[in-house]
Structure 1
Amino acid sequence: MNATPGTGPAPGAEDPLDAYSRTVIRVAESVTPHVAAIEMARHGRNGPVRVGAGSAVVFTEDGYLLTNAHVVARANEGRAVFADGSAADIDIIGADPLSDLAVLRGLSATPAPARLGDAEALRVGQLVIAVGNPLGLSGSVSAGVVSGLGRSMPAWSGGSRRVIEDVIQTDAALNPGSSGGALADSRGYVVGISTAVAGAGLGLAIPINATTRRIISALLTDGRVRRAYLGLVSTPVQLPATVKLRNGQRHALRVVEVIPGSPAAKAGLKQGDLVVSAGRRPVASAESLQKLLFSDAIGVPFPVTVMRSGALVDVIAVPEEMTESV
């Protein structure tokens, strides 16, 4: 017997959910319990004053949550509400504006942690699912694809404009309130933390990779991230066809600007140099250089090899600690 129009398929008919729908539903059901809606506040004369809102992802068994630094800016306390209706007051453990990541701690019981993945394995065109609380609508889910990898986005720290490197671009719908939410792959692993809406159909997320795991570890341990400073502004370029390095490297960083008085300037690096290695490791992107410049590089001789006028030139820079004034 045929189903009456408008009443759905007859008993025994094929399930109307296709493979795409099944995947999105499965990931949404898996990830949503670990994502909180958060409201951030700071102490005022007449009590707490709300200063921001967004999302956060539980990532440890003992109740630590990951969100964006810009969500917790100007705040010193907050509250998290989870999909099951439970809630917990939260403290800010640390924030890093240069990666737009922050770590919070639940002061009472929180749901189990989400599974963190590895954004290095992502490919353009791959399915991703965003879970967050856009516009205050808790537990909202949107799906899309990885639209681009290795993007850059501006950030501000200490009144200075910085650039966050290696950002994931997606067309999964993100809106105000999505910031700090989860971007998951088709297996339900969180591969990014949603951070910004750059335009219609263009969302950005901070990747979960080796570099951000190191940042998260520093925030958990010290409440901040100490970075080394070289004083270079650079852009990725392809090496000339006539240049053949022994390791087969085809890309480098062109020095666009050397900050006067910086460690790079003191070492003799010049505008137009092509940086092919730093710390004795090949560099082909700003991210590959930045991940070498953490606290263990401060004050330590740092070899840099550049291509200059067709020849390889070795220099030794001594990175300084990055402060808000640089």
Structure 2
Amino acid sequence: MTELDAYSQIVTRVARTVGPHVAALAVRSRRGEGAGSAVLVDDDGLMLTNAHVVAGVTRGRVAFADGSESNFQVIGADPLSDLAVARADQADLGGIELGDADALQVGQLVVAVGNPLGLSGTVTAGVVSALGRSLPAQSGTASRLIEDVIQTDAALNPGNSGGALADANGRVVGINTAVAGVGVGLAVPINATTRRIITALRQDGRVRRAYLGLVTAPFPLPEKLAKRAKAARGLRVVDVVGGSPAQRAGLRTGDLLLDAGRSPVRDAQGLQKLLFTDAIGQPLPLTVFRNGAMVDVVAVPTELV
């Protein structure tokens, strides 16, 4: 068997595993008719898709891979992660296994399944081109970056949004969300943070978040600082929003954030997972490295509205 044959067998197996659980959504709003994809994630018709696919609607029509169709209801949407959950009135197909995007590596094989340009059940394959990308998101007057986005060269087109990005074992590790340019696709990762978002949407129909007002980027720590902080990476503060809890706490652009809630912060996800409902209005100790010295501050996150 050649390497190309082995590659083909992997993609074929993933397509057989994932394909039956990816559905096509049709919606109608004041902006007109729209379409996208969704992933069945349990045996009761619960589907995971992008918030922008179902923006402005509460219901729509879904077509499954076996040819059956049903109405669906939107349970909740979170524009700031571009994730939404909906439930089909009738669904005979079971849910697919969700994986963990934190285990992905650059260069790893991934397979995208969706309904681009109205072509149902389309499968494309590629690799993880990069990890830790950021994607702008907007909800009302609030804006932020969706952190830790997966970049892939698996071909994505309009209609792929809400579809599955799967690893070689057929586990869904991302929800395809946007096309950044020719040959560049992006997907919201499935990890501990997004699982928490999905649970909140299922239970409450929305996600309550704590707000700090920081824009950060991963940053490798110099050797001496890494030994002192007992971590190889931290977060460089790229911007501090005026009037935000972070600014009131004294954080500055250029600070290196090393510790939040008395735990090391190595990436954006590590900070985001602290900023949910139970952090609102509660003191959050932060440690930054500034001008050669460790600086401790205490921020009090507000609720993001």
**Mapping for residues 115-264 of structure 1, pairs under 5 Å:** 115-264=97-246
Larger-Rg structure: 1
| Separation of aligned partners in 2, 1:139 and 1:291 | 34
Determine if contact 2:142/2:304 at 8 Å carries over to the other structure. Answer: no
The SS at the match of 1:25 is helix
1:17 Cα offset (Å):
7.7
RMSD of aligned C-alpha atoms? 1.9
The SS at the match of 2:71 is strand
Give CA-to-partner distance per residue, 1:272-292, whole Å, 9 cap, x none: 322110111111322321121
Give CA-to-partner distance per residue, 1:153-189, whole Å, 9 cap, x none: 1122214442111011111111000000011111111
Give CA-to-partner distance per residue, 1:93-134, whole Å, 9 cap, x none: 000111100000011234111111111111111111111000
Determine if contact 1:194/1:204 at 8 Å carries over to the other structure. Answer: yes
TM-score by length of 2: 0.94
Question: Which amino acid is 2:5 matched to?
Answer: D
| Separation of aligned partners in 1, 2:221 and 2:27 | 47
1:88 Cα offset (Å):
1.2
Name whichever of 231-240 and 279-288 sits farther off: 231-240
The SS at the match of 2:52 is helix
How many residues of Structure 1 are paired with residues of Structure 2 in the alignment?
305
Identify if the C-alpha distance between structure 1 residues 112 and 270 changes in structure 2 by more than 3 Å, giving closer, same or farther.
Answer: same
| Separation of aligned partners in 2, 1:91 and 1:202 | 31
2:23 matched to 1:41? Answer: no
Give CA-to-partner distance per residue, 1:259-280, whole Å, 9 cap, x none: 2322112222233322110111
Identify if the C-alpha distance between structure 1 residues 161 and 231 changes in structure 2 by more than 3 Å, giving closer, same or farther.
Answer: closer
Determine if contact 1:51/1:74 at 8 Å carries over to the other structure. Answer: no
Question: Which amino acid is 1:22 matched to?
Answer: Q
| Separation of aligned partners in 2, 1:149 and 1:235 | 12
Q: What is the match of residue 45 of structure 2?
A: 63
Correspondence for 2:12 among 25, 39, 50: 25
1:224 Cα offset (Å):
0.6
Q: What is the match of residue 262 of structure 2?
A: 280
| Separation of aligned partners in 2, 1:184 and 1:175 | 17
TM-score by length of 1: 0.88
Determine if contact 1:237/1:251 at 8 Å carries over to the other structure. Answer: yes
Correspondence for 1:306 among 261, 274, 288: 288
The SS at the match of 2:53 is helix
2:273 matched to 1:291? Answer: yes
Determine if contact 2:229/2:258 at 8 Å carries over to the other structure. Answer: no
Between the aligned residues of both structures, percent identity stands at 64
